[in-house]
Amino acid sequence: MKISNDPDINEKILKKLNSGSLSFYDFMEIALYNPQGGFYSNIENQFGKDGAFITSHYYGKWLGSVIAKQIKIIFNKMMNPVNFKIVEYGPGEGFLAYDILESLIKNNEYLDYILIEKSTHLAKKSRDLLSKFKEKISFSENLPDSFEGVILAHEFLDAIPFHILQKTDRGYKEKYIVLESNKLKYQLGPLSKSELNEHIKEIDKYIEVGQTFEIALDTKVWLELISKKLKKGAVLIFDYGFSNQVIFDKTRFHGTARSFRKHMVSEVSLENVGKSDITADVNFSFIVKNAEKLGFTLNGFTDQSHFCIGGGITDLIEKESKSEPNINDKGVMGILDPTGLGSGIKVMLLTKGIDLKDLQAFSMKPDDRTSFNTLKN
């Protein structure tokens, strides 16, 4: 039985199937992160023109420049602490880190940039890309203890494994994967983790019988971890997503989980496991609710185009065009595109021990006003 071209993935999935239970969560963990043959562990390109999908920094350095400017403002507001660190979770190939570092170094900032990347293959790629900053960067598996600074998560939370649930007339059920006539198929079963019930109670009012949706419990685990280690500072999250009210709207009745392969989006592919990305929209209400319980304060929420415009992207382009007349500013349209990344990617700012409500990049509201207004409902 061939589930994947990779023998190790094949063996692991068959073993789980034979032992009687393969939840979607377990399937996603293997498909994306199996050290051999997992999508993010693969030697093929995951990102960019030749990969499965494209993210903002493939359109040029501008998003990195705007983020660098915000980091500088935060650094100044925190009175330039000596142990200030920038930590990026899931940097992938390292392009965003490159743009941020390049921009901050130009302004001679003190720099200590830590990259936390689960895929050894991608960590190596970003280490190579960032070799000219080697004095300023480090790769780590863990956050430093008790630090001040900024944590960045750019399209990180949409890639962590999630559970898929359905509300049925017999209560909430979870999606498992089973083998039937030599093919992988979905089957509903009991909830695999009791913590899922806790979240269901909070969102039940939005869900109708027959509706399918995702819960990323690991987002909560991540928030718990960063809240323990970040003494003072900010967390900037960039990702596709919505508030509870919008994510559970009828238009998403079948959930938001999807696969990407060579820029084509489809239902989650159960074939050729390891060859496609698997992702889902991020539930920003879930993030705020859990973050606030852990002592974070919500200081900003907008979309990428308003983040960039509020954050001074036009001034940055004008300033840089003076010193570099042939500068490539075409990619700007890609990151501001109101039908694409510009409105699709939301940006959330959480803080601890510092008030950043007036950070300029959050001065404008997102196009998706419903998510903005209902974030905490």
Q: Which residues bind ligand SAM (CB under 6 A)?
A: 40, 47, 55, 89-92, 116-119, 122, 154-156, 159-160
User: In the complex, what is the shortest distance from the CB of residue 376 to ligand SAM, in angstroms, rounded to a whole number?
Assistant: 26
> Is 62 exposed, middle or buried (CB count within 10 Å of its CB: 0-12, 13-18, 19+)?
buried
User: In the complex, what is the shortest distance from the CB of residue 154 to ligand SAM, in angstroms, rounded to a whole number?
Assistant: 4
Contacts of 197 (CB under 8 A, 6+ apart): 172, 191
Q: Which is nearer to ligand SAM, 47 or 284 (CB)?
A: 47
Contacts of 108 (CB under 8 A, 6+ apart): none
Can you list the alpha helix ranges (DSSP code H) found in 92-194?
A: 95-106, 120-129
- Give one word for 160, left, alpha or beta, with left for phi > 0 and alpha for psi -120 to 50: beta
User: In the complex, what is the shortest distance from the CB of residue 256 to ligand SAM, in angstroms, rounded to a whole number?
Assistant: 15
Residue type, 293: K
User: In the complex, what is the shortest distance from the CB of residue 104 to ligand SAM, in angstroms, rounded to a whole number?
Assistant: 18
Q: What Cα–Cα distance (Å) separates residue 85 from each residue in 114, 134, 141, 351, 355? A: 7, 15, 15, 15, 18
User: In the complex, what is the shortest distance from the CB of residue 56 to ligand SAM, in angstroms, rounded to a whole number?
Assistant: 7
Q: What Cα–Cα distance (Å) separates residue 325 from each residue in 61, 188, 220, 320, 335? A: 16, 59, 46, 8, 21
User: In the complex, what is the shortest distance from the CB of residue 158 to ligand SAM, in angstroms, rounded to a whole number?
Assistant: 6
Residue type, 206: Y
Q: Which is nearer to ligand SAM, 160 or 336 (CB)?
A: 160
Q: Which is nearer to ligand SAM, 166 or 342 (CB)?
A: 342
- Give one word for 108, left, alpha or beta, with left for phi > 0 and alpha for psi -120 to 50: left
Q: Which is nearer to ligand SAM, 26 or 155 (CB)?
A: 155
User: In the complex, what is the shortest distance from the CB of residue 58 to ligand SAM, in angstroms, rounded to a whole number?
Assistant: 8
Q: Which is nearer to ligand SAM, 156 or 301 (CB)?
A: 156
Q: Which is nearer to ligand SAM, 93 or 167 (CB)?
A: 93
For ligand SAM, which residue has the nearest CB? Answer: 90
User: In the complex, what is the shortest distance from the CB of residue 173 to ligand SAM, in angstroms, rounded to a whole number?
Assistant: 26
The whole-angstrom distance between residue 26's C-alpha and the CA centroid of its chain comes to 19
- CA 160, 243, 376, 361 torsion: positive or negative? positive
- Which 8-state DSSP code applies to residue 294? T
CA dihedral 209, 214, 220, 223 (to 10 degrees): -130
Q: Which is nearer to ligand SAM, 47 or 98 (CB)?
A: 47
Distance CA 341, CA 338 (A): 7
Q: Which is nearer to ligand SAM, 67 or 291 (CB)?
A: 67
Q: Which is nearer to ligand SAM, 55 or 166 (CB)?
A: 55
User: In the complex, what is the shortest distance from the CB of residue 198 to ligand SAM, in angstroms, rounded to a whole number?
Assistant: 22
Contacts of 43 (CB under 8 A, 6+ apart): 121
CA dihedral 308, 341, 249, 350 (to 10 degrees): -40
Please count the CA atoms within 13 angstroms of the CA of 119 that sit on its side-chain side. Answer: 29
Q: Which is nearer to ligand SAM, 78 or 241 (CB)?
A: 241
Element (H or E) spanning 224, and its range?
A: helix 217-229
